[in-house]
Amino acid sequence: MNKSTITCSIGTLIEWAEFTFYAYMSYKFAPLFFPMFQANTAILASFGTFAISYFARPLGSILFGHIGDKHGRKKAFSLSIFLMAITTLSMGILPTYNLIGIAAPLLLILLRFLQGIAVAGEFTGAAVYMVESSNYNKPYLSSSWVSTASAAGMLLGAFAALIIALPSMPTWTWRIPFFIGSFACLLGFYIRKNLSETAEYSDLNRTHNLEKLPLITVLTNYKIQILQTAALAAFVGIYIYICNIWWASYVVEQHYFSNLEAKTLTIIGQGSVVILIPFMAILAERYSGRLIMSLGFVGAIIIAPLLFFASSTQIFYMVLAMHIVYAICNSAVTAPMFKFLADIFPASIRYTGQALGWNVSVALFGGTAPLFAQYLFSQGLNFLPGIYVSLSALTALSMCIIFFKKK
């Protein structure tokens, strides 16, 4: 791993730790910021706030995509981490409903909205930078570090949630991860300022081949590529947020497992993803990225319904096995996916194309996944969230095959 890999990975890890900490702690934020509702409705409102941050991501993709394609990859994802630092610190000092009333949830919604804008510039921007910085020397492995870092960030967020949820912890300790995260983001911003720009962007800038309006070019000439990106992003969002994050709340509400057991299982599952992504990237380099991705999609189609069925048995080790398989399928898709996305967009609109397709899709499908799953659960349709995940995997596989056939 070189300096740019470490720098990008650390920044992505920090942003995703802060971004997903809220999701893992939604049940705790519900009474703090939405006590005016009954318990189930308050949790729905808390997950709704999580979804709102995703509705901001298309705006972030347009903003940071334009900056990345016109003014440089480094500038775009450096600004994104600075915005994340400010909003994260603000969430850490935010008063609760008991102190300032309705202003508390409104400010929470605003800050989550701004965090969504920041993450939109970070995730795909760091991936573009990593692929282009690799000079296509082991691009699957190079770009996979972004997926590894985001998965590790989610794992760190889960660990923080587990510690904060301990009965012995004071109620105010939920603020600590936000304080630590804001400082870490500012440190990441300082480090990123010293990175060099990618060769591909520098060549475009030197030869005056930058697109004047990257967004218009993408929307006019790359519709199929946008749909392929959107299908992939929808699957990743739905798969992770339903089978990992929302699942932890679901099994506790159903009294299948205790909160500690549920968090332990999700941490093991997410930890396995972190470990497996580099290995899947190595397999993609040696064999075929399209083969590894396709196997991941097929596995996800099968495992998602089985995870929910296994949960109802309340057999801990059976569910643990399901989470390990979940991790294998997750890493098989996310390890090669950024090389796949880099291949379908030319360098002049790569940042905008990836960011727009990805973030519009996760706004519609990823961010709403826990909310939709919670609604299905409240209607007694406990088996449908797993089916929903399977359908998203099938759709993504079908859209990616269109690209695979052209290669």
Q: Phi and psi dihedrals of 198, rounded to 5?
A: -70, 155
Look at residue 245 in the predicted model and tell me its pLDDT.
80
* Residue 260 CB contacts under 8 Å (≥ 6 apart), including other chains: 162
Rounded (5°) CA angle 395-55-234: 15
The dihedral region occupied by 314, where left means phi > 0, alpha psi between -120 and 50, and beta the remainder, is: left
Look at residue 153 in the predicted model and tell me its pLDDT.
84
The amino acid sitting at 4 is S
The amino acid sitting at 406 is K
Q: Are 24 and 157 in contact (CB under 8 A)?
A: yes
Strand segments, DSSP code E, in 156-247 are none
Q: Are 137 and 199 in contact (CB under 8 A)?
A: no
Residue 401: Cβ-neighbour burial (10 angstroms; 0-12, 13-18, 19+): middle
Q: Are 12 and 150 in contact (CB under 8 A)?
A: yes
Which residues of the chain have a pLDDT value below 70?
Answer: 1-4, 7, 19, 134-137, 402-407
CA distances 255 to 38, 134, 251, 321, 376, Å, are 19, 48, 6, 20, 17
Q: What is the pTM of this model?
A: 0.83
CA atoms within 13 A on the CB side of 173: 12
Q: Are 219 and 342 in contact (CB under 8 A)?
A: no
What distance in Å separates the CA atoms of residue 249 and residue 126, rounded to the nearest whole number? Answer: 31
**Residue tagged 């968090």 (tokens):** 263
H helix or E strand, kind and range, residue 339: helix 337-344
Cα-Cα-Cα-Cα torsion 331, 370, 80, 337, nearest 10 degrees, comes to 20
Rounded (5°) CA angle 101-249-247: 140
H helix or E strand, kind and range, residue 300: helix 289-313
Cα-Cα-Cα-Cα torsion 366, 370, 372, 378, nearest 10 degrees, comes to 170
Q: Are 407 and 290 in contact (CB under 8 A)?
A: yes
CA atoms within 13 A on the CB side of 100: 11
Q: Phi and psi dihedrals of 170, rounded to 5?
A: -60, 155
The third-level CATH classification (topology) of the domain covering 3-406 is Growth Hormone; Chain: A; (1.20.1250)
DSSP structure class, residue 364: I
* Residue 370 CB contacts under 8 Å (≥ 6 apart), including other chains: 23, 26, 47, 50, 51, 241, 242, 245, 246, 249
